[in-house]
Structure 1
Amino acid sequence: MRMFTIAWKDLKIRLRDKKSFITLLLMPIVLTAILGSALSGVFGESGALPEMTAGAVVNSTDEVTVQFLNKVLQGKDLRESITLKEFKTESDLREALEHQQIDAGLLFPAEWGEGLLKGESKQVTILKDPEKEIQASILSSITKSFINRVTSVSIASRTVAEGFNMAVPVSNQNINISENVTELTAELSKVAESTVNSVTMEKDGKEPITGMQYYAAAMGVMFILFNTTIGAKTIIQERNTETLARLMNSPVRHSSIMAGKFLGTLSFAFLQFIVFIIATHYLFGVAWGSNVWQLIVLGMAYSVSVSGFAMIIAGFITEEKTADSIGGIGVQILALLGGSMIPMAAFPSVLQQIASIAPNKWALDSLLDIMDGTSWNTLVMPVTILMLSGLAALLAGSMKLKHR
C-alpha cells in the first residue's frame, strides 16, 4: 500500500539524519547515565524512609503525648529517620518552617493526650513545607495511626468497664471489677504499643525503583516526545517545498498520505523506544520488568500519541522555525510537568492533577509500574488514553492539512 511506502521513505530519511541520531538516540542514553548515577541516593534504594526534621509544640504535657514523642517518633524504628525539635510557641514553629529549619511541624492542642484517653479525638495541626509533601504525609500518617490505636484502646476499656458494672455475678465469687479493668487496659495498651502496628522500614516484597531505573524511564519518554517537533517539521518542509502539494495532486488518496506521514513518525518513535530499552538494559543494567509484552504495548501506545501530536502541530503551524520554537518549549514544559526532570511525588497535589494532560506522564508512570511488576489491568487506562489522544490528534491534524 502507498501509505507504507511513504512511511518507509520518511523513516529512511530520519535514520540518515545524524542530528536526529544524536538528539533522539545518543543524548537520552548519556543523560540517563549522568542523572541515574548522580541522583541515585534520592530514591532511597535501601527501602528506608526519607530523612526529615520535625518540629512540635506541646501545649500540655501528659503521659500519652510523651509516649508519642519519645516512644513513637523517637522510637527505635523511626529515630534514625526523624529528628525531633520542640518549640515553645506556634510562631517559633512557623518561623522555623519558613526558614526551612524543619520539614514539617506538629501543633498539639491543650489536653490532647487526656482527650484521647476519654475517646475524644482532638485535631493535631500539621504544618508543612510545600516542597516537602512526602515528609509531611509520612508524619501525618504516623500521627493518625497513633491516634487511632490509643482511641481504640480507650473505647474498648470503657466499654468493658461499663459491661462489668452492669453485669450480675452468677456465683458467690467476689469479682474485683477495678482490678480486671486495669489488667485489660494494660493488655490493650501493649497491643496499641506493639511495633507490629507502627511504621517500620521493611520491603513489601518488591525491590524499590532505583535512581537509574527512574531516570532511564524519564529520559526515554522525554526524548521520544521530541518526535512531535521533528515529525511536524518534516511535513512542514515538504509543504514549503511543494513536495506535499505534488503528492496531494497524485492519484494517492489524501488518507493514505496522512496515514503514511503518521506511520513514518510512529515507526521512528517506536524504534527509538526499543533501541533505548535494549541499550540501557545492557549498558547500565536497567531492569525494565519481567513482562516484555507490556513494554511493547505501552511503547506502541506512546508512539501513537506522540505521532498524533506531530500531525496536529504540522496542521496548525506553517513555519519550521515556529514549529521548532513552540515544539522545543512545549516538550520542555511537558517533560517538567510529566516528571522527567523532577519526580512527580515532589509536586503539590494541584500540579500532579494538571500533569495528567501530559502524555509523557502516563507513559512514565506506566513504565515505573511495569518495572515494579504490575498487572495488565493497571495498564488499560494509560494505554487507552495514549491511543485515543494520538488518534484524535491525527484526525484533527489531517483535516487541517487537507484544507491547506
Structure 2
Amino acid sequence: MKSLIIAWKDFKIRFTDRKGFFLMILFPILLTAILGSALSGVMGEESLPKTTVGIFQNDHDQIASTFVNDVLKGKELNDLVSVKKVDSEKKLKSFLQDEKVDVGIVIPSTWSKDLQQGKLKQVKLIVDPGKELKGTIIETILQTFVNRVDTISSSTKIILTNSAPFLSPSDMKDLSTQLIGSLEKVASSNSNYVKQGSVGKKQVSGMQYYAAAMAAMFLLFNVMNGVKSFINERETETLARLMSTPTSKFSVLVGKFLGILYFVIAQFSIFLIVTHLLFQINWGDNILQTILVAFAYSIAVSGLAMLFAAMITNSKTADTVGGIGVQVFSLLGGSMIPITVFPKTLQTISNIAPNKWALSSFIDIMSGTTWDALFLPMVVLLLIGMVSVTIGTWRLQVK
C-alpha cells in the first residue's frame, strides 16, 4: 500500500509538470505530424526506388543480351530499372564510385557456354555499400532469370536425351531448334520479377511508422527522467527522510518503479489516442496486441530507469549519458531512420536497443501479425525490465 502511495505521488508530480508534459507528450505528437508528412515516401507509399544498373558485357552472348535487352530494359521493369552500358569493368567501378550507377553487373564472356550442362557462368554483382536495398532488388531479378534459364535448359536436355532413340537426326535438329527458341522466349517473357507488397496483410504508411517510432523514442526518455528524479531526491535529502520513516526500503523502491511505470503507460495511452483522433492512425486491428507490447516496453523502460539510477550519482552525468544514450538507441532502434536502410551488420547490432523491439512489434501489428510473431519481442522486453529492476533495486538497497 505504501508503495502505491509513493508511486501515485511521483506520477502526479511528473504529470502536472507543464514543461515535462510538453516535452514528453505534445512534442512527440508534433514530430509525428512533421516526419510522417515529410518522409511518407520512405515507407513505401510511393513506388520502389528506381535503380540505375551499370552493365559490362564482354561479348554478344545470346542469353546475356536477352537478360539485358528483354528483362532489364523490358516493359515490366521500365519504372524500376534504368540501364547504362559501359565498355570495361574498370569504368563500371568508376561509375559506381562517382554514383553514376547504383549497382554494377559484370557478365562474363560466353556466359551461356555451359548451359547444355545445366549451368551458367557466375555473374559479378557490385553494389554501392550505401545502397543495399537497390542491390537486393537487382540481385533478385538476376537470380530469378538465372533460375528460369537453368530450369528450362535442364528440361530441354532431358527431353532431347529421351527423344533421341525415337527420332531421326533431322527431326532431332528441328526439335532442338524449337526448344532453344522456347528457351529464349520464356527467359525473356514479361514476368513479375519484383512485386511490391508488405510483410503483413497491410502496408504501413509513413505516418503510422513515425507515430510508432516517436512513441518508442520518447518513452525511452523516461529512463533518464527517472534517474534524475532519484538524484534530485538524494540531493534534497527527500529520499533520506523517506527512508527514515517506518516505510521499508523495498516499498520505497517498488513505489519509485511503479511511479515511472504509471507515467510511461499514461504517456503512451495519451499519444495513441491523440494520434488516432488527429491523424487517423490505425495502430492495428488487434488493439490488445498493441496494449501488451506497450506494457512490456513500459516494464523495460521503468526497469532501465532503476538500473541507471543505481549507477549514476549526479545530474551532470545523467544529462550527458541520457542525451547521448537516448539518441544512439533511437538511431539504432529505427526511430530516426527505418532499420531496413541500415547495413546488415548494423541491423544485427540494433537488437541491443530496447526501442527496436517495441518499434518493430508496433509496425508488425499495424501491418497485421500473429501472436506467435510477438512472443519473442515481448519476452525480450520483459526480461530487460525484470533483470534491470532486480539489479537496480539490489544496488540501490546496498547504498
Q: What is the TM-score of this pair, normalised by structure 1?
A: 0.94
Alpha carbons 1:236, 1:319 under 8 Å: kept: yes
CA RMSD of aligned residues (A): 2.0
Instruction: Name the residue aligned to 1:29.
Output: 29
Of 273, 289, 300, the match for 1:294: 289
For residue 53 of structure 1, give the secondary structure of its aligned residue in structure 2. Answer: strand
Alpha carbons 2:148, 2:187 under 8 Å: kept: yes
Instruction: Name the residue aligned to 2:11.
Output: 11
Aligned residue runs from structure 1 range 141-160, under 5 A = 141-160=140-159
1:285-327: CA deviations, max 9, x gaps?
2121111000000000010111111111110111012112211
What CA distance in whole angstroms lies between the structure 1 residues aligned with 2:178 and 2:286?
54
1:288 is aligned with what amino acid? W
Instruction: Name the residue aligned to 2:218.
Output: 223
The yes-or-no answer on 1:320 pairing with 2:315 is: yes
The yes-or-no answer on 1:198 pairing with 2:197 is: no
Alpha carbons 1:2, 1:252 under 8 Å: kept: yes
What CA distance in whole angstroms lies between the structure 1 residues aligned with 2:51 and 2:232?
54
What CA distance in whole angstroms lies between the structure 2 residues aligned with 1:325 and 1:100?
38
Instruction: State the Cα distance separating 1:269 from its structure 2 match.
Output: 0.8
What CA distance in whole angstroms lies between the structure 2 residues aligned with 1:10 and 1:205?
40
Structure 1 gap ranges (5+): none
What CA distance in whole angstroms lies between the structure 1 residues aligned with 2:200 and 2:274?
28
Instruction: Name the residue aligned to 2:20.
Output: 20
CA 1:303–1:352 in 2, change beyond 3 Å: closer, same or farther? Answer: same
The yes-or-no answer on 1:125 pairing with 2:124 is: yes
What CA distance in whole angstroms lies between the structure 2 residues aligned with 1:287 and 1:193?
42
Alpha carbons 1:221, 1:364 under 8 Å: kept: yes
**Which deviates further from its counterpart, 309-318 or 119-128?**
119-128
Instruction: Name the residue aligned to 2:107.
Output: 108
Alpha carbons 1:153, 1:189 under 8 Å: kept: no
Of 239, 243, 247, the match for 2:242: 247
What CA distance in whole angstroms lies between the structure 1 residues aligned with 2:214 and 2:352?
18
CA 1:383–1:123 in 2, change beyond 3 Å: closer, same or farther? Answer: same
- Matched positions, count: 399
Aligned residue runs from structure 1 range 1-400, under 5 A = 1-46=1-46, 48-116=47-115, 118-165=117-164, 167=165, 176-187=171-182, 189-196=184-191, 198-201=193-196, 206-400=201-395
What CA distance in whole angstroms lies between the structure 1 residues aligned with 2:334 and 2:297?
16
Instruction: State the Cα distance separating 1:241 from its structure 2 match.
Output: 1.7
Alpha carbons 2:198, 2:367 under 8 Å: kept: no
What CA distance in whole angstroms lies between the structure 2 residues aligned with 1:205 and 1:365?
12
Q: What is the TM-score of this pair, normalised by structure 2?
A: 0.95
Alpha carbons 2:234, 2:240 under 8 Å: kept: yes
Alpha carbons 1:160, 1:181 under 8 Å: kept: no
Aligned identity (percent) is 46
2:354 is aligned with what amino acid? P
Instruction: State the Cα distance separating 1:201 from its structure 2 match.
Output: 4.4
1:161-200: CA deviations, max 9, x gaps?
11122x468xxx9993333344445445544444345334
Alpha carbons 1:53, 1:85 under 8 Å: kept: yes
